[in-house]
Every structure is written in C-alpha cells, then in structure tokens.
Amino acid sequence: MEHVAQAVDLKSFFHNQMNMISEIDDHCRQIEDDLNQFKRQGKKLFLSSSLQTHSLPLLDIIHSIDPKIPVYFIDTGYHFPETILFKDRLKKEYGYHIIELSSPVNRYQQKDSDGQLLYTSDPDYCCYINKVLPLEPILKEYDVWISGVRASQSAFRSDLGKVGKGTFDTIKYHPVLEWTNQMIYAYKNAKNLPEHPLDEQGYSSIGCLPCTRKAEVGMDPREMRWFGLNKTECGLHTETMDTK
C-alpha cells in the first residue's frame, strides 16, 4: 500500500508540474503580447534587474522575446564580489544585454557630518544616491520600465498593479507580479538557468554587502536586508511611482 500511495503522490506531483508549466507558458505569451503592444505604440522599453536567481526568469523571457531590449544593472559599489562575477558570467555565457549604471556621487562624498559612510547612519539616503539617482537619466530616456517585482515580496509590492504610472512620465510594467516562488523556480529549472553563487551559502535576498545577511529560519527573506531596521525597500520602486 505504501508503494501505491507513493505512486499516486508522484503522479499528482507531475500533474501539478505540467499544469504550472502550462500556466507559465500562458504568462509568457501574454508578456510577449504586452511588449508588442507597447512597441506598436512607439514606446521605448528597458528592463532593470538585480540579477538574483529569482530575477533570471524575467530576464530570460525578455531576452527571448527581444534581445535588443537593454537590461540595466545598478552597480552601487557595495555589491558582493560574487554578484559582479555572476553578472559577468551572465553577459558572457548567456549573451544578456546587461548595462551597468553607477551613482554620479563619488564614494568619498557619501559620508555624513561625522565622516561615517551613509549606509551606517542614513541607509535611506545611501539607497537614494546609489540606486534611485543612477536610474533617473534612464527613466527620462525611456517610456516603459519593465520590472520583476512580485506581490509576495513585500506589503508595498502586494499593492502594486500590473501597470502603473512612474516618475518622468514612465509606465511601470510588472509582468511577473503575480508569479509565485514555485513558478519562478519551475521556469528556472525548465530553462536550466544558473543560480546566484550566494544562494548555496544561505542568502535568499541579496543586495549590497553591508546591508544583507544570511536567511534565518522562520524569517521573511526581505527581513534579511537592512536587518534590525524598519526598512524593506531600497526606494528604487517606492520613490519612482507617481502618486499624484
């Protein structure tokens, strides 16, 4: 009887996996339709990516639809070395059109009145200088910002819509907003996409080195960023939404 039960469970598992793959295929076709609609309207599109493992499915989808759409990676100057090496690998081995952005404010200027680096005393302003500010020229140049935020990641993101109004008259397009972790990793495994090298070291949400720690049992991955602070967003998405 135990073998029968295991066989039934296995059959149910594969059935669910096939249903999920079918759902993902539908989503991918919808993303392609949306991009084509934006293009017919004469709009310029770009994608931003943190290049974490869970970011790669959207990056791969966009690349497969139109490899000419630029992918902007914001190099804050505080990333883990593993993140930079991973970025270089993705460009070389997978041909992703990744373009680096960096802050116009030099590191030596990023200090408070006591001479401390801003991430130690004012992480919100540090995030603004190193993440929001570098993207502003891109927002002025393009019409549609494709972003991989997902509703399950934070309370703020759960309130977003698939399409929103951003600053500088941009359209913020969130094509994987309703994707679950299971869908993300089903796509990743189906396409044999690589994993960020810090995943196997216990990191589940990877940002800048000074403000990221390994995941702890029972804690939300976003809580591992800016640990101990009342902060779960860097401002890249909160400060670029037009709330007028």
Supply φ then ψ for residue 46, to 5 degrees: -145, 160
Q: Is the dihedral of CA 30, 35, 37, 40 positive or negative?
A: negative
28, 126, 127, 234: the catalytic one is: 234
Q: In 3-state terms, what secondary structure has residue 174?
A: coil
CB atoms within 10 A of CB 244: 5
Q: What is the DSSP letter of 136?
A: H
d(CA 58, CA 20): 16
Question: What long-range pairs does 54-58 form, CB within 8 A, spacing at least 24?
Answer: 54/148, 54/150, 54/181, 54/184, 54/185, 54/188, 55/148, 56/90, 56/188, 56/193, 56/194, 57/176, 57/179, 57/184, 57/187, 57/188, 57/191, 57/193, 58/146, 58/148, 58/175, 58/176
* Alpha helical stretches, state H, the chain: 2-40, 56-65, 81-94, 118-121, 123-127, 133-141, 155-158, 181-190
127 is catalytic: no
Catalytic residues: 234
